[in-house]
Structure 1
Amino acid sequence: MSPDLKKIIPEKLYEASVLIASNKQHKAEKLLREYLFENPLDVNAMKLLADIGIRQRAYFDAGNLLTRALDIEPEYDEARLSYANLLHARQLPFESLKQIEILLEKNPKNIHYLNLKAVNLAQANKHAEALKLFREIKKGFNSKILNNGQFYLQFGHTLRANGDVKEAIEAYLEAIKCKEGYGEAYWGLANLKTYKFSQTDFERIKRLLNDKNCKRHDYFHLLFSLGKAEEDRGNFKNSIAAYMKGNQVKSKEVLWNVDEFAHECKKIKSFFTREFFEKFKNVGSDLSDPIFVVGLPRSGSTLIEQILSSHSLIEGTTEHQNIIALSRKISKKRKSSDKSHYPSGILNIKKDEFKKMGQAYINNTLDQRNTSKPYFIDKMPNNFFHIGLIHLILPNAKIIDARRNPMDCCFSNYKQLFGSGQGFTYSLNRIANYYIEYIELMNHWDKVFPGKVHRVIYEDMVKDTENEIEKLIKFCGFEIEDGCFEFYKNKRAVRTPSSEQVRQPIYSKGIGYWKNFEEWLTPLKEILEKYG
């Protein structure tokens, strides 16, 4: 904030603003809470405290502060914009779009509002609408106003999801022109998988990494980009060195605790037993619309989704947050430090509510549907943790477990920089233990309800594609269609890192790829071999 603001806002708010700008969040939070205790209707203080909450990912509390501020002062546009951004961060694009439309009614030419609308449309699986708006923004604003790397980055992501790879590359390169050292844009190029960095790009990335002014966020994106560039050149020693350093930096930003996750898995296995489901038989919705594809990322789940969505009755949508959101609601956790009441909180829910929950899940996904096909895919990989909850509220839903050679799968995750979450991927120890817990939990589900989950092994799909596709389609209860065997012709938007691979016929070059890096993957190999 400008020093001039000291003259027009309360001294404590100015002081809090200075503390926030100096990255002294805890001191600012304490000061703002004290101020709000004395001035409970000050919307500026609410917004400042909410902004701190957003930085700390305390989204529940931040959301309450912003909605309260907007109730008091509906015309407070800055608070509404913060709320729209918060909803986007929580992956609630339709809720975010409602707030953006209110802002656009007052200021329809605001480039920030329009850009945020396009980003949320893409997140909402409305890629055609998003691309149309991105193109309108690009055409309607001059180059000086559009000198914004973030705009071209998001434009590139949406183009890539839509299969427009050539134009996506142009957008990422434009983002780099706007902002030298833009790590996310370099990773956008690297993450295309089919893009190869030129010698000039290669040297520039190394130079940027040696720049003392390189920001942390750019730094780890550039390290992963360098890892991919070295990998493409066959320099596996240099590649793994870059990946290891990138993971080391990223792991400090995305916390994940091996023991805590093991404890949560143990709670799930102890709660969801055969005896439990005998008591809670037939309490959910009898609808069979969703097909859940679960497993680890980079396990072939996007390929399965592409095959299924090539059927005339099945729509490919996105990785829905709905089941995870429901589990959080049951847990009553407002922030990460709170005690979780999941899954035990299920016992406090009346039996007739489970059917409503199943129906609500279906209803809440309708906005993200783009066709009238009767069935749809929810490809949230982490839902393997919630199969018990899924079976409780939607007992007729089909569940497919995507599985791949553990070394290939774990290493593929290790060298993948994810947009958000997936904190378990940023160390070899983390991912090895996560994989083991995943296998143990899937074994548990197989014992509790045998035959409920259909397993697709990636290597089997590669070796015996036609037979595996037939088994997959039959498990889901559909007749075989030729389109399922020509899945690579499917033109739907794909937002995952596998978007390029699933637009071509199945190939085997990814099998055993980890062996190129074997001498550096000993910690991973030893943990997995010890498990057996």
Structure 2
Amino acid sequence: MDAARGDPTTARRGGSDAALAAATTLLADSPAAALDAAEAILAAVPGLPPAELIAGQALRRLGRADAALVRLAALARSQPRVPAVTWELAQAASDAGETGAAIAALERLTGQLPAVAGGWFLLGKELRKAGRANAAWRAELQGVQAAARDPKLLEAAAAMNEGRLEAAATMLDTRLATAPEDAPACRLRGEVAWRQGDMTAALDLVGRAVAAAPGFDMAREFLVRLLLQTNRLAEALDHARVLGGSPAANPGHELVMASVLVRLGDQQGAGAIYERLLALRPDQPQVWQNLGHVQKTLGRQDDAVRAYREAVTQAPTMGEAWWSLANLKTVRLGTDDIAAMRHALADGGAAREEDVFHLHFALGKALEDAGDHAASFDHYDRGNRLRRAMIRHDATAFSAEVAAAAQLFTAAFIAGRGAGGCPAPDPIFIVGLPRSGSTLVEQILSSHSQVEGTMELPDMMMIASRLQGRVDDGEFADFAAMVTSLTAADRTRLGEEYIERTRVHRQSDRPLFIDKMPNNWQHVGLIRLILPNARIIDARRHPMSCCFSGWKQHFARGQAFTYDLADIGRYYRDYVGLMAAFDAAAPGAVHRVIYEDMVAHTEREIRRLLDHLGLDFEPACLEFHRNDRAVRTASSEQVRRPIFTDGIEQWKHYAPWLDPLVAALGPVLPAYPGVPAL
């Protein structure tokens, strides 16, 4: 007689395989049936480990964690080297509130299977329950390292990096459907959403990753960057502070904090971080460049020059550092600098595309200063063409949007809205084009005892973009229908939102503050509806001077229309048309400052400006160049000097090459400072 026939227990165990498989299948949807099936198997084969495991799993899924824990603890004593048993024991102990038992099981499990991320993350969660925050953080960092070797996550990451975003999203959504708290999958899915342009989903997913694993530093760092992109600065600061406490010391966390401080206007705090990092390791050209930006903003020009020089010494092809040097309007780059930049351009292997266009802009400025206007224009033109190819700007679509706004915000429409909007008189909006003299106006006003200067705040544009999103999502036929639908309460809420969002930038008790985002000219009608007592200043400069100055200026972000002479001329024309329409709809609501008049008749124009704002004249406004506030715009050095006329007619040196700009400006050019008939 063979062994199977001679041993009835063995026979019974062999016959239970099919029953075990069936019981396992029932676990997900019918844990009660799975428990019954396991008990039936155990009645036939007492103590059968696979059946005991299924029974424990079923009890836990039925919410009977205490009973599950008893059975699984006994099973773990007899099967101490079976990871599945240890894993179930840990989860049952967690569900039963037996944190110590859960930690003990998970420490054993992660010792057995260190490459399984889930064990580390669950261990982190239990350690946090026990108040062992640093140990939890380290466990979660171990989980991140383990996840970095997960084949499925690697496959999804590869798809994302190859641009196959839908494929990556599908892989990750499938994974998250069964494991919604899988922190690495959440973070990666968030990055996919961000690359797809869905910022709302990206924030939600990366936030879930951080909530599931608070020690997941890479996820938190990404979350800070997303919050910065959406101007949620207070939240970004909170998360940056948490990162600073990570047990895994990382200079990158300090750089994240510095980025947040820069956005909050705390240039000195950011500068202190950069100086500390450079004291520890001076061979960091990017940090030297960042320090240069801070020193420039604080008005410490000599220190800025030294920092930028150190950056290009360490990284000769670092185009942004060269451009930053050239962009210090009071610094001239010499023949050695020009030779070094030309050499950097020739070093095609080292210079990235971003370096190349920055180098062209820097060479354009250096050669302009040297009086070689033909060569200067060539480099400006090449830099602009490269940059234009990298950005999206549909001039025709933009003109249509502006025309629609002009048709919407008529006197009758504004009057028909009646009361509503936040009555706060705090904001002073300075609008116009970049390089129009708006920084000069800001510096003058911020020298007044009742006015606080902040920076170019994106909040009004973000509110307008969110409202446009409702149109894009099909909720309304067009922007006019959406604005018309806003009730008085809606407009009040939106105005209050703007005041609250900008509060983080106010560092004094001065009653008024400046928002110098130039692009807000596009939203003067919305401003009127949601902040009826806000003041609007239109800073305007001769169209050739303004547009040419903007075209030869590389902006860090936000000005996609400046990289083509025809685009910027058309933009200026759109701006003049909309502001003229608003002047007709709301006479006197906007005070216009003509740059050339401000330069020629400074005190007279300052008094007119202050009268419009209802402010008394203060001599400090004439001494604006003594104001030591931080200034982040391209005019930061110029506004620290008395009024000067150097730049008014610089464009004339380039007149032979500016026909596309003249053509795009059309009737706006000869009408200046007036406007052509609507």
Q: Does the residue aligned with 2:630 lie in a helix, a strand or coil?
A: coil
The 1-side partners of 2:167 and 2:184 are apart by 13
Displacement of 1:242 in angstroms is 0.4
Q: Does the residue aligned with 1:151 lie in a helix, a strand or coil?
A: helix
Q: Which residue pairs with 2:563 in the alignment? A: 426
Residues 271-325 of structure 1 show CA distances to partners (whole Å, capped at 9, x for unaligned) of 2222221221231122211111000000000000011011111111111111111
2:160 and 2:168 in contact (8 A); partners too: no
Displacement of 1:6 in angstroms is 11
- What is the root-mean-square deviation in Å for CA atoms of aligned residues? 2.3
Out of 215, 219, 222, the position equivalent to 1:79 is 219
Q: 1:335 to 1:49 in 2, by over 3 A?
A: farther
Q: Which residue pairs with 1:408 in the alignment? A: 545
**Rg larger in structure:** 2
Q: Which residue pairs with 2:336 in the alignment? A: 200
Greater RCO, CA 8 A, separation 6+:
1
Q: 1:349 to 1:492 in 2, by over 3 A?
A: same
Q: Which residue pairs with 1:130 in the alignment? A: 270
Q: Which residue pairs with 1:303 in the alignment? A: 440
Displacement of 1:335 in angstroms is 9.0
* Structure 1 residue 375 corresponds to structure 2 residue 502: no
Out of 327, 330, 342, the position equivalent to 2:467 is 330
Q: 1:63 to 1:111 in 2, by over 3 A?
A: same
The 1-side partners of 2:352 and 2:230 are apart by 25
The 2-side partners of 1:413 and 1:93 are apart by 28
1:282 and 1:395 in contact (8 A); partners too: no
Q: Which residue pairs with 2:301 in the alignment? A: 165
Q: Which residue pairs with 2:640 in the alignment? A: 503
What amino acid is the match of 1:152?
W
Displacement of 1:7 in angstroms is 9.9
- How do 1:216-365 and structure 2 match up within 5 A? 216-332=353-469, 342-365=479-502
* Structure 1 residue 188 corresponds to structure 2 residue 324: yes
Displacement of 1:433 in angstroms is 0.7
Out of 346, 351, 358, the position equivalent to 1:210 is 346
The 1-side partners of 2:338 and 2:283 are apart by 24
Percent identical among aligned pairs is 37
1:473 and 1:479 in contact (8 A); partners too: yes
Q: 1:334 to 1:137 in 2, by over 3 A?
A: farther
Q: State the aligned residue count.
A: 520
The 2-side partners of 1:512 and 1:94 are apart by 43
Q: 1:362 to 1:482 in 2, by over 3 A?
A: same
Unaligned stretches of 5+ in structure 2? 1-144, 671-678
What amino acid is the match of 2:188?
L
The 2-side partners of 1:345 and 1:69 are apart by 35
The 2-side partners of 1:393 and 1:337 are apart by 23
Residues 38-47 or 312-321, more deviating: 38-47
The 2-side partners of 1:257 and 1:463 are apart by 37
Displacement of 1:105 in angstroms is 2.2
The 2-side partners of 1:488 and 1:183 are apart by 30
Q: Which residue pairs with 1:151 in the alignment? A: 287
Q: Which residue pairs with 2:524 in the alignment? A: 387
The 2-side partners of 1:130 and 1:337 are apart by 43
TM-score normalised to the size of structure 1?
A: 0.92
The 2-side partners of 1:190 and 1:433 are apart by 28
Residues 216-225 or 360-369, more deviating: 360-369
Unaligned stretches of 5+ in structure 1? none
* Structure 1 residue 463 corresponds to structure 2 residue 600: yes
Q: Does the residue aligned with 2:245 lie in a helix, a strand or coil?
A: helix
Displacement of 1:341 in angstroms is 5.4
* Structure 1 residue 65 corresponds to structure 2 residue 201: no
Q: Which residue pairs with 2:255 in the alignment? A: 115
1:6 and 1:14 in contact (8 A); partners too: no
Out of 645, 665, 672, the position equivalent to 1:528 is 665
What amino acid is the match of 1:119?
S
The 1-side partners of 2:587 and 2:184 are apart by 56
* Structure 1 residue 106 corresponds to structure 2 residue 233: no
The 1-side partners of 2:572 and 2:640 are apart by 28
What amino acid is the match of 1:47?
R
The 1-side partners of 2:578 and 2:263 are apart by 30
TM-score normalised to the size of structure 2?
A: 0.73
Q: 1:89 to 1:37 in 2, by over 3 A?
A: closer
What amino acid is the match of 1:483?
A
Q: 1:334 to 1:245 in 2, by over 3 A?
A: farther
Q: 1:8 to 1:486 in 2, by over 3 A?
A: closer
Q: 1:45 to 1:530 in 2, by over 3 A?
A: same
Displacement of 1:130 in angstroms is 2.4
